[in-house]
Amino acid sequence: MSILENEKAPPSGAPAPGPTLSERFRNNARYDLPASLVVFLVALPLSLGIAIASDAPIMAGLIAAIVGGVVAGSIGGSPLQVSGPAAGLTVVVAELVATFGWKSTCAITVAAGLLQIIFGLSRIARAALAIAPVVVHAMLAGIGITIALQQIHVLLGGSSHSSTVENITQLPGQLTSARYGDVLVGSVVIVVLLFWKKIPGKLRVLPGPLVAVVAATVLSLSFPLDIDRITLDGSLFDAVALPSMPDGPWLAVATGVLTVALIASVESLLSAVAVDKMHGGTRSEFNRELVGQGSANMISGLIGGLPVTGVIVRSSTNVAAGARTRASAILHGVWILVFAALLTGLVEQIPMAALAGLLIVIGIQLVKLAHLRTARRTGDLWVYGVTVGGVVFLNLLEGVIIGLALAVVLLLWRVIHPKMRAEPVGSEDSGRWRVTVEGSCSFLSMPALTGLLAKVPEGAHVTVELAVDFLDHAMFEAIDDWKRHHENKGGTVVIDALGPVDMAEVGASPPRRGIGVASPRGFAPWKSWQPRHTDTDENTTPAALRPVLAGVSEYHRRNAAQLQPHLDELRDGQRPDSLFLTCSDSRIVPNVITSSGPGDLFTVRNVGNLVPTGRQDVSVEAGLAFALDELEVSSVIVCGHSGCGAMKAVLASAPGGAEASDRDAVEQWLTFAQPSRKAFDSGHPVARAAAELGFDEVDQLGMVNVAVQVQTLGRHPLVGAAAAEGRVRVAGMFFDIPSARVLEITSTGVSYLDHVPT
């Protein structure tokens, strides 16, 4: 490259210039244009049906759809979300229309939009998501049931009533006087919608609601059916009208404004969250989305439209149709405007029963079995049921308030009732008890805790495990008083604080929630939480080192600060309690299976956890000498494990084998395990005990090997002398990997170490 060419090139490291606006439009138009047409076809019948269900002018639904698409689509913070009139507000709007009239309802919509803009500018959008999801799901289910109960009367040829109780009580009479033409038309819509997704082939690309309404309309025009059709009072432009101030109690008006603003905001934000999960593009800006929704509601209310929210049905259709940018949502509003301005005659051909059938299906689909199963699984079924009942039989606002109140009460109940249990360790006659408390402990839990502690018999040796993240002074005093009383009666109490609460600070400072729980990743393999890497990854760190370095990073981030005080105490040297001789197998983590930390174990590892006789291997000899003479450990543990590769090799090898010079390093090392093989072949009692517990031959040999190595240590000059003087104890253990349990190995038997021996 010449110097001149180099001067024309962008500076090294500078980002390449992005595509121009026209290029981006051309690149995305082939996706957004067809997607906008699909969304338009879905939104058209839904907007008409929602207007009817809201007792609003028919054109108000189309006005809201136009404004929602163009205004919210242009300003909002969720690019692929499509806004318009939503089923979630039909009950509220119908109540407002009945109370204040249509034009006053438009004024309430304007005020609600202004409140939404204030929410967005105040940057509190995420606070709307603090409402318990079970309450939102139940709210939508209640709205769906209410819509279905209203519209079933329209499908039968009658008209809906103002309350759910009336809709239920008047249903038998409506059934006896049903108009069969309306029933036929509405049933066609329901059948088409229920089975449309099961239709094979490319026909399924067409929106189901549009196909259902068109099919029902064609049917009604083909046969002489006596049915009611949509009636429009003028054109779209005739429907545009300014709102009027509400004439009624201002508290009721303010309640209506707040209700519309909150429901529209929550539904829009929840829809935006759901849409974000459907695509891999730009994430939503929630505060900006509220500003966009508020702007759309202000404009919609000012010109005579319904309230606007983000709608998950249209938004999911938009994503599924392949939309790339907000242009799809904007264009869908433009198509509705063109249709409403030029083709209103077609709207008047649609039967009312057809839209009733559409709304019944929409209402039923708002009651999702997945939400019911989730509520049952999480213990929130009461909250769900009470909220649904409140929305259906009272009104939406009261139902949601009751549901939220019940959810808060249930939350408090769970917080003030930590998990507690008291149980004997081992047999009933062992005299050892364990009391476990998990969760948050406050004075509200004192009756339950004192009742539990009263079950512990006098004189018992008790371990109280406190896995709590909050402990106030009242609970601390209750535990401390019981501890003193129990010890005065001859028992012993050990308080084991497993959670983040510092017991020493509970009585010296105001109670606060503990922080800094140790990461559970300390017990989990790398592969369970680290991504897999290959040498072809674009990373300067070699792939072979990344798991280790990622683990070190995780240690510094989560555990180093907690470990540092303990290590600071060990800065001048170590004083371990035990020498732990175990296999080199990566599945054996001595500190995990012994619940020990830095400074507790002096560990020696080799293949097969072997103790060479004589001085044939100086590494094990050096470890023994240093541990006994310098560190003065009190015990020496030999620990084997299940599925040991060394034991498999010993079991598979022929006794004697090849000459030493012909063996590789592993084969030469495993000659130290031949005494274990001979003891196993001779029917060692440990092998028989292991067989009775269901262990296979490899594990039986592994346990015999532990017993033999313990005997070898007993004959060792250093270890044997220290054991004879009572300065050290030698023991054998075996870790069963599949069950994660530890067994004790003696010279004659095997037993599980599930509790501290008495």
**In this model, does residue 514 exceed pLDDT 60?**
no
The per-residue pLDDT for range 75-100, each reduced to its tens digit, is 999 999 999 998 778 888 988 998 99
With a cut of 70, say whether residue 505 has pLDDT above it: no
Q: Write out the two tokens for 454.
A: 């009263």
Domain boundaries of the chain, sorted by first residue: 22-398, 419-522, 577-752
CA distance 557 to 553: 6
Residues facing 332 on adjacent strands: none
Residue 270 pLDDT > 90: no
CB 445 within 8 A of CB 437: no
Short-list 237, 186, 244, CA closest to 212:
186
Two structure tokens written together for 55: 């007792």
Mean pLDDT of 538-554: 70
Which range, 174-183, 302-311, 387-396, 499-508, has the best average confidence (pLDDT)?
Answer: 302-311
Q: pLDDT-based confidence at 125, cuts 50/70/90?
A: confident
* Alpha helix segments (H runs only) across 204-285: 208-222, 236-239, 250-276
Residue 1's pLDDT band, with cuts at 50, 70 and 90, is very low
Q: What is the pLDDT of residue 613?
A: 77
In the predicted model, is pLDDT for residue 183 greater than 50? Answer: yes
Maximum mean pLDDT: which of 16-25, 232-241, 314-323, 724-733: 724-733
CB atoms within 10 A of CB 10: 9
Which residues touch 649 (CB under 8 Å, ≥6 apart)? 666, 667, 670
Other C-beta atoms within 10 Å of 11: how many? 6
Check whether 692 has a pLDDT greater than 90.
yes
| Domains 419-522 and 577-752 agree in fold | no
Residue-level pLDDT at 542:
62
Separation of alpha carbons 77 and 83, rounded Å: 12
Ramachandran category for residue 201: left, alpha or beta (phi over 0 → left; psi -120 to 50 → alpha): left
Predicted pLDDT of residue 676:
94
577 is in an annotated binding site: no
Given pLDDT bands bounded at 50, 70 and 90, which one contains residue 607?
A: very high
Find how far residue 135's CA is from the centre of its chain.
17
| Nearest in space to 227 (alpha carbons), one of 268, 263, 179, 267 | 179
Question: Mean pLDDT, to the nearest integer, of 493-510?
Answer: 69
Most confidently modeled range among 294-308, 449-463, 476-490, 612-626: 294-308
461 in a labelled binding site? no
Question: What one-character DSSP code corresponds to residue 81?
Answer: -
What is the H or E stretch that residue 438 is in? strand 432-441
CB count within 10 Å of CB 435 equals 23
With bands split at pLDDT 50, 70 and 90, how would you rate the model's confidence at 7? very low
pLDDT for 114 beyond 90: yes
Is 585 known to sit in a ligand binding site?
A: yes
Confidence of residue 9 (pLDDT cuts 50, 70, 90): very low
Contact of 662 with 603, CB cutoff 8 Å: no
- The residue with greater pLDDT, 661 or 274, is 274
Q: What share of the chain is helix, strand, coil (3-state, %, to 5)?
A: 60, 10, 30
pLDDT of residue 522: 57
Give the three-state DSSP class for 740: coil
Average the pLDDT over 192-200 and give the result. Answer: 81
The pLDDT of residue 686: 94
Neighbours of 3 (CB within 10 A): 6
Please state the rounded mean pLDDT for residues 585-589: 93
Q: What is the DSSP string of 24-43?
A: HHHHHHHHHHHHHHHHHHHH
Phi and psi dihedrals of 347, rounded to 5? -65, -35
Joined together, the tokens standing for residue 566 give 């303990």
**36-40, 406-410, 575-579: which has the highest mean pLDDT?**
575-579
* CA pair distance 305, 340, nearest whole angstrom: 13
pLDDT recorded at residue 12 = 44
Q: Which of 167-171, 625-629, 657-661 has the lowest mean pLDDT?
A: 657-661
Q: What is the pLDDT of residue 662?
A: 53
Query: From the centroid of its chain, how far is CA 403?
Result: 22
- The pLDDT assigned to 379 comes to 85
pLDDT of residue 102: 93
Q: Which residue has the higher pLDDT, 112 or 557?
A: 112
pLDDT at 153 over 70: yes
Count of CB atoms within 10 A of residue 500's CB?
16
703/692 Cα distance (integer angstroms): 13
User: What pLDDT was estimated at residue 319?
Assistant: 81
Inter-CA distances, 19 with 22, 23, 25, 28, 29, Å: 8, 6, 10, 12, 14
Average pLDDT, the chain: 83
The residues near 184 (Cβ < 8 Å, ≥ 6 apart) are: 219, 225
- Structure-model confidence comparison of residues 208 and 25, the more confident one: 208
Confidence at residue 8, expressed as pLDDT on a 0 to 100 scale: 42
- Of all helices (H) and strands (E), which one includes residue 638? strand 635-641
Architecture of domain 577-752: 3-Layer(aba) Sandwich (3.40)
Minimum mean pLDDT range among 204-208, 428-432, 583-587: 204-208
pLDDT digits (tens, 9 = 90+) for 407-452: 888 888 877 778 888 888 877 677 888 888 888 888 888 888 888 8
Given this model, what pLDDT does residue 616 score? 67
Least confident of 93-102, 112-121, 649-658, 703-712: 649-658
pLDDT of residue 684: 94
**Owner of token pair 């249930």:** 410
Q: In terms of DSSP H, where are the helices of 616-725?
A: 618-625, 645-652, 665-670, 674-681, 685-692, 697-715, 717-724
**Contact between residue 472 and residue 443 where contact means Cβ atoms under 8 Å apart:** yes
Helical ranges in 541-608 per DSSP H? 546-558, 560-569, 590-593
Give how far Cα 217 sits from Cα of 223, 232, 312, Å.
10, 16, 26
Return the minimum-mean-pLDDT range out of 309-323, 492-506, 631-645: 492-506
- Of the two residues 313 and 516, the one the predictor is more confident about is 313
Provide the token pair at 66: 């136009």
Give the tens place of pLDDT for each residue, 249-269: 889 899 999 999 988 988 888
Beta strands in 154-286 (DSSP E): none
Residue 519 has pLDDT above 60, yes or no: no
Any known ligand binding at 417?
A: no
Confidence at residue 512, expressed as pLDDT on a 0 to 100 scale? 58
- Protein fold of 419-522: Transcription Regulator spoIIAA (3.30.750)
Q: E strand or H helix at 497, and its extent?
A: strand 492-497
Residue 143 pLDDT > 60: yes
